[in-house]
Amino acid sequence: MNPFELLKNTQALKEQSEKLQQELADIRGIGSSGGRMVTVTLNGKFEMLDITLDPICVDNRDVQMLQDLIVSAHKNAIENVQEQIKQKSASLLGGIDLGKFGL
């Protein structure tokens, strides 16, 4: 194998990786629970950007339910972000299954 060809491929992979990192900030994954009483928005880096609570679910007598709804909405948002990352990276990685790497 030509070492210059390997360097060329490595540079292309690096550029694609940097592009993907930039695109992650633009991904938005929204998760919800309780019939959309709680919604959570994450970016592609799994940072929480927003949380919306329906006033009906804010009852100081049932804080545990609200906490459960928030956790559930957050998990749902993570699943949505992971799916979008999988779709975006599939074309860059030439069909490598990211599931093997926990994504």
* Digit-coded pLDDT (tens) for 38-51: 999 999 889 999 99
Range of the domain at 71: 3-93
Q: Which CATH number does the domain housing residue 61 bear?
A: 3.30.1310.10
The number of distinct structural domains making up the chain is 1
In a domain, 13, yes or no: yes
Closest by CA position to 31, among listed 75, 67, 87, 83? 75
Q: What is the pLDDT of residue 6?
A: 63
Judge contact between 91 and 56, C-beta under 8 A.
no
Judge contact between 61 and 52, C-beta under 8 A.
no
Q: Which residues, other chains included, contact 23 with Cβ-Cβ below 8 Å and sequence gap of 6+?
A: 44, 88
In a domain, 69, yes or no: yes
Between 27 and 20, residue with greater pLDDT: 27
What gap in Å lies between CA 84 and CA 27, rounded to an integer? Answer: 7
Closest by CA position to 29, among listed 90, 91, 75? 75
Residue 97 confidence (pLDDT) above 60: no
